[in-house]
Amino acid sequence: MTDRTKCYLHGLGTWIVSDAASARAALADPRLSSQVLQTSFHLPAAAREEYADLLNILGRWFVMRDGTEHRSARSRVGSLFAPARLRKIHGALEDVIRKSVEEYVLGGGGDAVRGVANVVSARTIALLVGLPNTDVSELHRWARAIADFVAASYRANLAKAAQEAMREIGEALAGSVTARDVWQQAADNDEERLATCSMLLFGGLETTSSLIGMSIWYALQNGLLPRLVKLDEAEDVVERTLSFRPPLGHVARAAATDLEVDGCLIPAGDPVLVSLTGVDPMTVTSPPHLAPAHVVTDRRIGHLAFGFGAHYCIGAALTRLEASLTLRQLALSCPEAKLGPFSWSKNRTYRGLSELTLRVSPPIVRETA
Ligand code: HEM
């Protein structure tokens, strides 16, 4: 008989893997399946029928597949994130980020979550999938609708909004000349294409926006911004932020067979939450008010912010680059920026700042002769 009090959360009906070493082992264990659609989505039967299109596409996201199905779907888009592709889009990415930060500074600063982090993350993902003219707020609306449903998947009204968002994503991608290459590359049929492309849009938005927001906060809290004109120093701040506060708190798995984790016997079919923070994901802690000046960022040990094993984040290099270039651009455009009021989001899965006010000096207007 297993000791359920140790790692079973009765309130949520899920097992929990908390400490970093056990989490790493769990993420590398093929007996913990990523096919969590059945265990996590609890729509009533009638709503399941009504939102079958949404559930069908989400079930094809390769983050929720195992084994060969996962590997072959992932390999179709691997080249979009390869070093060669990142080098190819590096100049365009710098332009997107320069434009976004300059617009923010010219607009007088204000909330950098809305004005910088959301804008950079949306414009970058739009660049990656080939939707450069799509409105930033539209992209975030789609991602939010899907995220809201994934977080509370028993609510039919959220399923309705997510299904509508998914339909709009499909229309935007399939109907765009500029997205055609990525759309064709992603899979051999339209359902799989929509699944992979919508997952890339979703995966690249909220998490990256959180990382950018928190990295700016970290830099300003520690008075580091002027130094971040050097890209390697900006990269270091991004890495410290990832270690200190991973944007995703945990990931979901389901036991594919009876197995033992941390001395607990988990029955086949049970849901498991694997923490990416090294602590119990359900622990209620006050959000940080100060950013620690020293964070151990030993790359040999590494943090779990991007997961581990077969499902390691495909966008990790892109997002690190985006966040570092954004810090560098802020250091160039407004090195004197001061931190104003900020607040943390209450979401335990997607962690970040909901607001981050920066006070920036008015831009210098040079008279032309
Ligand atoms: C700070 C930003 C990001 C964080 C913290 C993050 C975090 C993660 C984590 C923890 C996983 C593992 C999921 C699991 O094991 O179940 C993951 C997977 C994934 N991420 Fe990210 N991610 C970020 C940015 C991005 C970006 C920019 C993209 C795409 C443009 C992306 C696309 C994906 C995809 C497609 C997967 C699934 C990989 C697979 O199943 O093989 N992510 N991410």
Tokens 């509370």, residue? 152
More confident of the two residues 39 and 353: 353
CA distance 322 to 213: 12
What would the two tokens of residue 58 be? 């989400």
Ligand 1 centroid from CA 210, angstroms: 13
Q: Which atom of ligand 1 is nearest to the CA of 276?
A: 10
Tell me the pLDDT band of 81, cut-offs 50, 70 and 90: very high
**pLDDT of amino acid 204:** 86
CB of 37 closer than 6 A to ligand 1?
no
| C-beta of 199 in contact with ligand 1 (< 6 A) | yes
Residue 363's pLDDT is 59
Instruction: Look at 153-162, 302-311, 327-336 and tell me which has the smallest mean pLDDT.
Output: 153-162
Q: Which atom from ligand 1 is nearest to the alpha carbon of 121?
A: 27
Cβ of 245 closer than 6 Å to ligand 1, yes or no, is no
* DSSP single-letter state for residue 352: S
Residue 312 alpha carbon, nearest atom of ligand 1: 12
Q: Is the CB of 131 under 6 A from ligand 1?
A: no
Does pLDDT of 48 surpass 50? yes
Every domain of the chain and the residues it spans: 9-359
125 lines ligand 1 (CB under 6 A): yes
Regarding the beta carbon of 251 and ligand 1, being less than 6 Å apart is answered yes
User: How many A from CA of 164 to the centre of ligand 1?
Assistant: 23
Q: Is the CB of 277 under 6 A from ligand 1?
A: no
Cα–Cα distance measured from residue 148 to residue 28, given in angstroms and rounded to the nearest whole number: 28
77 lines ligand 1 (CB under 6 A): no
Task: Quote the pLDDT of residue 1.
Answer: 45
**Range list of H helices, the chain:** 4-7, 20-27, 37-40, 45-50, 52-59, 67-77, 83-106, 112, 118-129, 136-151, 156-174, 180-186, 190-203, 206-221, 231-244, 316-333
Does 315 contact ligand 1 (Cβ within 6 A)?
yes
The CATH number assigned to the domain with range 9-359 reads: 1.10.630.10
pLDDT at 157: 87
Answer whether 200's CB lies under 8 Å from 77's CB. Answer: yes
pLDDT in tens, 196-207: 999 999 998 999
Q: Mean pLDDT in the chain? A: 91
- pLDDT category at 70 given cuts 50, 70, 90 is very high
Q: Supply the residue whose CA is at minimum distance from atom 21 of ligand 1.
A: 313
Using one digit for the tens of pLDDT, what is the confidence trace for 300-318? Answer: 568 999 999 999 999 999 9
For residue 335, the CA-to-ligand 1 centroid distance in Å is 31
41: pLDDT confidence band, cut at 50, 70 and 90?
low
Give residue 241's pLDDT: 96
Ligand 1 within 6 A of CB of 311:
yes
Residue nearest to atom 6 of ligand 1 (CA): 306
- Measured from the CB, is residue 319 less than 6 Å from ligand 1? yes
* Residue 62 in contact with ligand 1 by CB distance below 6 A: yes
Tell me the CA–centroid distance for residue 234 and ligand 1, in Å: 21
CA of 75 to the centre of ligand 1 (A): 14
Considering only CA atoms, give the Rg of the chain: 21
* Average confidence (pLDDT) over 313-326: 98
Model pLDDT for residues 213-243, shown as the tens digit of each residue: 999 999 999 999 999 999 999 999 999 999 9
Average pLDDT in the 102-126 region? 96
| Rounded alpha-carbon distances, angstroms, from residue 153 to 40, 150, 160, 199, 346 | 7, 5, 11, 17, 18
Distance 61 CA to ligand 1 centre (A): 12
Closest ligand 1 atom number to CA of residue 34 = 16
